[in-house]
Structure 1
Amino acid sequence: MSVLPIVTYNDPILKKETEPISENSEELQSLIDDMFETMYKASGVGLAAPQIGKSIQLFVMDADAITEEMEGEPDIGPVTLINPKIVKKSNETVKMEEGCLSIPDVRDDVSRPESITVKFRDRDLNEQTMDATGWIARVIQHEIDHLQGVLFLDYLSAFKRRLHKSTLKKIDKGKLETEYPLADKS
């Protein structure tokens, strides 16, 4: 397994819609393993393929680090979601602070549906359906956004984005230090 460099803010791949995955392969399985390794190295709870430079409908997540500390939130362990699609959303929304490995040092409040139902294929390409609430629902929605070329910054007002402008400039110029490898900005 390898730790992969993470693509950061203003890279065009982060704003691009991804392609579905139609077949399993050794390369796919190796990529999934590398994505988990990368996510854990970066202390993240989710990582989408565009964040490591791949324009495919794949993300990995393990929100147990967050849910362990939250009463009533289940631990579900590491999960691979291929070709995910949200098929149901609750009308109730919750505003919570989010961050992103591709936008280090930037955090802000985002409103999202409290609960969702998502259909996807697991790492063996078997069809699955999952009902999710709370943090797990939030992580899934955040990562599916990545697969659609949407960043959590896109939910912020112009005023809120301006508040993060200096940090975003540092990220864009490759001048921000992180505990995990970032993709070269050149």
Structure 2
Amino acid sequence: MAILKIARMGHPVLLRRAEDVADVTAPEITSLIQDMMETLKDAGGVGLAAPQVHVSKRVFLYFVPESRSEGEDDPPCDVQVLINPVLEPVGEEQMPRLEGCLSIPGLRGEVPRYRRVRYAGYDQKGNPVHGVASGFRANVMQHEMDHLDGILYPMRMDDLGKLGFDAEVTRYGVRT
């Protein structure tokens, strides 16, 4: 296993659609996932997409820490893997979410996200997975899915006045 270098905003791998994974159980995908898990833990994030580690494949990891859980519809969970994921909104309800990104260190911005999403894909063993996510989990899944489609969170923001450095956003909050 290895800690991988994280691509930062401006690198072309972050701005294009990632390629589908042809064989979800291939040894190189298993190895990539293990390296991504180690990288995610080292970086202290809650999600990581393969393009963020310079690999243009449709794979992302995420987890919901106890501190970010939003109730019984959004329970804490250990690191989950989605390969070749598909997400679709459940309903039209959106809410503003304050997001950061390992590829855009030091900044946070308010992004409109669907409250609930339906998801499907494969886990790291090649088993099909599907369900409905809400709250923080839905937010992280949408953020990571955007990485697979070449979208960074500032591209989703409807007001760049709600983008700021971590320390300032923490101190003063987001302007409304």
Shorter chain as denominator, the TM-score bin is 0.7 to 0.9
Q: CA-atom RMSD, angstroms?
A: 1.8
Residues 48, 62 of structure 2: 8 Å contact kept: yes
The CA distance in 2 between the partners of 1:159 and 1:149, in whole Å, is: 19
Runs of 5+ consecutive residues of structure 2 not aligned to the other structure: 166-176
Q: 1:111 to 1:6 in 2, by over 3 A?
A: same
Greater percentage in strand: 2
Structure 1 residue ranges, 4+ long, deviating more than 6 angstroms after superposition: none
Residues 98, 107 of structure 1: 8 Å contact kept: yes
Residues 112, 157 of structure 2: 8 Å contact kept: no
Runs of 5+ consecutive residues of structure 1 not aligned to the other structure: 168-186
- 1:27-75 Cα offsets, whole Å, 9 max, x none, are 211110110110111110000000000001001111225435x444302
Tell me the CA shift for residue 158 of structure 1: 6.7
The CA distance in 2 between the partners of 1:75 and 1:65, in whole Å, is: 5
Q: 1:159 to 1:138 in 2, by over 3 A?
A: closer
Report the counterpart of residue 107 of structure 1 in structure 2: 108
Report the counterpart of residue 58 of structure 1 in structure 2: 59
Report the counterpart of residue 87 of structure 1 in structure 2: 88
Residues 111, 158 of structure 2: 8 Å contact kept: no
Residues 45, 65 of structure 1: 8 Å contact kept: no
User: What TM-score results when the alignment is normalised by the length of structure 1?
Assistant: 0.81
Tell me the CA shift for residue 157 of structure 1: 4.2
Report the counterpart of residue 132 of structure 1 in structure 2: 133
The amino acid across from 2:16 in the alignment is: K
Report the counterpart of residue 174 of structure 1 in structure 2: none
1:25-40 map, 5 Å: 25-40=26-41
The amino acid across from 1:102 in the alignment is: S
- Number of matched pairs: 163
Q: 1:88 to 1:60 in 2, by over 3 A?
A: same
The CA distance in 1 between the partners of 2:71 and 2:127, in whole Å, is: 31
The CA distance in 1 between the partners of 2:110 and 2:148, in whole Å, is: 20
Identity of aligned residues (%): 34
Report the counterpart of residue 146 of structure 1 in structure 2: 147
- 1:99-125 Cα offsets, whole Å, 9 max, x none, are 000000110111111001101111122
